[in-house]
Amino acid sequence: MSPTVRVKTLTIDGQAVGAREDQTIMQVARENNIFVPALCAIEGLTPVGACRLCIVEVKGVNKLLPACATRIEEGMEVTTNSERVANYRRTILEMLFSEGNHICSVCVSNGHCELQTLAKKLGMTHVRVPYRSTMRRVDASHERFIADPNRCILCTRCVRVCDEIEGAHTWDVMGRGINSRIITDLSQPWGDSDSCTSCGKCVNVCPTGALFEKGKAVSEMSKRQEFLPYLTLMREGKK
Amino acid sequence: MTQKIVIDPITRIEGHAKITIEMDDQGFVRDAHFHITQFRGFEKLVEGRPFHEMPSLMARICGICPVSHLVASARACDMILAVHVPETAINLRRILNLAQLIQSHALSFFYLSSPDLLLGMDADVAKRNIFGVIQSNPQLARDGIRLRQFGQQVIEWLAGKRIHPAWVVPGGVSAPLSAENREKILAAIPEALATIQRTLDWYKGVLDNFREEARLFGNMPTMFMGLVSPDGELEHLRGKLRIVDAVGNIVADGLEPEHYQDYLGEAAESWTYLKSPYYKPMGYPNGMYRVGPLARLNIINRCGTPYADQEWAEFRQLERGAVLSSFHYHYSRLIEILYGIERIEQILNHPDILSKKVRAFAGPNKLEGIGMSEAPRGTLMHHYKIDENGLVQWVNLIIATGHNNLAMNRSVLQVAKHYVKGEKIQEGMLNRVEAVIRTYDPCLSCSTHAAGQMPLNIELINSGGEVIDQVIRG
Ligand code: FES
């Protein structure tokens, strides 16, 4: 922490809190044990505000702000759990579910999936928009891993961990809007990628069963993410 | 004038089966078809999926016998892995499969069929259901519930879940059996055993009341097919196929499941989506055979457990050759439940049953896998082809109900011939057509009858396509 960083005070859900000025609402909320859901943000990677599940209300601001990508301000009054926020979050989840093939019961990540956990926790009981029932091709060309784009929610954690931590930048996003998808190298089969080091970080940060280890049967793929903050710390220490 | 009687739908859950009975000018039944007009397309659905997901995906085909698909699929995947699956894992799968058999047979016998057996085929439909059984023979109803519970409980103790457990995986099972759960299962066995023995005694006592049904319900010469152990005993998980003819002679033995395409043909008929398998050397439709509990008891040398062997010997006294009447599927189910309970106990006393080595790991070492097992309703076959990355490219399934397709049609025809005369649909006929189908316990009759009678829509249609008589029940 640089010595010039100042402390700011704000309220989250009515609770007065103090924090460093370079922190995000999400960081401060979590430090104070206030739950804010997140699918794209993960400690140790740059926030991108892709999934919008972390939206919160800030007094005086009309639109909802992503807690993961919004810095705190002096005197901010943040609400994380209003009815409005809850409704938006559920709608976002429904759209995520309808956009791919998230059939939990036959997924390798069943029981260990962040999307599934959040849907339960946030009370998403059904999906009100029509399912797209995608038939995207599964990439099983890698020796150890499989990518199933039908379960991808485009959080881009894989892209960021590969770029920021592993330094390989094998993953990237191609296309726009509803046609966006995650690719390896220049949209080659993962197994043909020259840049991939097969480190498996992308698999472990993936919140769903979109990236998983070969040979895992249904419900068997649990991810290990504890390593990420340590890796980030170690890198910073070296700088 | 040719008339057509249409019974539609025959079930609620997969309510897409119907029956047509075609009559000739004289008002006699000419032909009968049991249509399955529903197409679920599982084979297509799983194309492109990693094969390790197959057991759980395939288990979704059925909510009553998911475990059967689970083990058949896992066997196909084992072959793709080309590994030696630890013996303990095989035995654990075996217990799971038997537990499934017990609960499924109990469902079929007690919930679906006992109303007919206890209250009579012509009893009031409002009473002829499991609730009627509870009223008139509470002990029988309780026994059915307890046996079903036993099967489900064993599944849960082994696999952690009653329905759709993900415990069976390619290469074995995902977790060993705990000493505690082994004790729990062993402790539940004496009661289960006593229950099935009581039921068998009751059933043998009333069997005589159903001489007419036994004579008319699918009582026909066909072959029988199923898996047997190397010693010719009952085997529901591994083993090789044996085919026996109506007289009880072995027609073929030691048939390798992997080579099923050499000896089994699959005929497609315009009136059903269900393929009709037949034994190739005999041609179609002469190569008709039956599978399931009746078939299994007809092909073996003995069951392989003491009590079941005694019952089996008595059962085989029913006829000189093979037991031919499909009505005796009911009886066979009870004997198989008895066998299942005894066999589970035998396996649990195996010294290695608690071994921690229950899974072999590997990638796809073969591009093709075939798995066969005996499901409650008969021989179940899963056949997969994958690409070199392990993604499924092609799937063929032969389900138990499929094997029995030809026999079910014959049986419906037999019953219809006897009970349908003239231009009117008679209530007694309906119940018996329904009941003959139920002897086979086809998947599509799944949970329909548990809470009432099958909804039926029967139409008598003349050659001009006009409805001349109609009965709707549902
Ligand atoms: S967690 Fe903030 S937008 Fe995804």
The pLDDT value recorded for residue B289 is 93
Q: Whose CA is nearest to atom 1 of ligand 1?
A: A38
Give start and end residues of each alpha helix (H) in B18-86: 42-45, 54-59, 66-81
The pLDDT value recorded for residue B277 is 87
CA of B281 to the centre of ligand 1 (A): 65
From its phi and psi, is residue B370 left (phi > 0), alpha (psi between -120 and 50) or beta?
A: beta
For tokens 């690719």, the residue is A183
CA of A53 to the centre of ligand 1 (A): 5
Residue A108 distance to chain B (closest CA, Å): 7
Domains of chain A, CATH where assigned: 7-81 (3.10.20.740), 88-218 (3.30.70.20)
Pocket of ligand 1 contains residue A196 by CB under 6 Å = no
Please give the ipTM for the structure prediction: 0.83
Ligand 1 atom with minimal separation from the A26 CA: 2
Torsion of CA A71, A77, A80, A86, to 10 degrees: -120
CA of B99 to the centre of ligand 1 (A): 46
Regions of chain A with pLDDT less than 50 = 239
What is the CB-side half-sphere exposure of residue A62 using CA atoms within 13 A?
Answer: 0
Pocket of ligand 1 contains residue A53 by CB under 6 Å = yes
Other Cβ atoms less than 10 A from the Cβ of A23: the count is 17
Size of interface A-B (CB pairs under 8 A): 51
pTM: 0.85
Q: Is B134 exposed, middle or buried (0-12, 13-18, 19+ CB in 10 A)?
A: middle
**Nearest to B19, CA basis, from B27, B29, B28:** B29
pLDDT digit of tens for each residue in chain B (474 aa)? 455 655 544 432 234 456 777 777 777 777 777 766 555 577 788 899 999 999 988 887 776 678 888 999 999 999 999 999 999 999 999 999 999 999 999 988 887 788 778 877 777 767 777 777 888 888 988 999 999 999 999 999 998 877 667 899 999 999 999 999 999 999 999 999 999 999 999 999 988 888 888 888 888 899 999 999 999 999 999 899 999 999 999 999 999 999 999 999 988 776 666 678 899 999 888 898 999 999 999 999 999 999 999 999 999 999 888 899 988 999 999 999 999 999 999 999 999 999 999 999 999 999 999 999 999 989 999 999 999 999 999 998 888 777 888 888 888 888 777 776 666 666 677 777 777 777 877 765 333 333 334 555 555 555 555 555 655 554
The answer, for A211 touching chain B at a CB cutoff of 8 Å, is no
The answer, for A79 touching chain B at a CB cutoff of 8 Å, is no
Pocket of ligand 1 contains residue A64 by CB under 6 Å = no
The pLDDT value recorded for residue B212 is 83
Token code pair at residue B8: 């539609």
* Sequence-distant (≥ 6) Cβ neighbours of residue B417 within 8 angstroms: B28, B29
* Sequence-distant (≥ 6) Cβ neighbours of residue A37 within 8 angstroms: A53, A54, A89, A118, A121, A122
pLDDT tens digit string along B430-446?
777 777 777 877 765 33
Pocket of ligand 1 contains residue A68 by CB under 6 Å = yes
CA of A69 to the centre of ligand 1 (A): 7
Percent of chain A with pLDDT over 70: 97
The pLDDT value recorded for residue B470 is 59
* Sequence-distant (≥ 6) Cβ neighbours of residue A104 within 8 angstroms: A110, A113, A116
Cβ-nearest to A217 among B53, B390, B391: B53
pLDDT tens digit string along A79-91?
999 999 999 999 9
Query: A190 to chain B: which residues are within 8 Å by CB?
Result: none
Other Cβ atoms less than 10 A from the Cβ of B452: the count is 17
As a whole number of angstroms, the distance between CA B170 and CA A117 comes to 27
Pocket of ligand 1 contains residue A51 by CB under 6 Å = yes
Residue B111 distance to chain A (closest CA, Å): 28
* Sequence-distant (≥ 6) Cβ neighbours of residue B119 within 8 angstroms: B127, B128, B132, B133, B136
Tell me which of A56, A68, A85 to substitute to probe ligand 1's pocket, judged by most ligand atoms within 8 Å of the beta carbon.
A68
Mutate to test the interface with A, among B169, B173, B361, B387 (most CBs of A within 10 A): B169
What type of residue is B371? G
The answer, for A213 touching chain B at a CB cutoff of 8 Å, is no
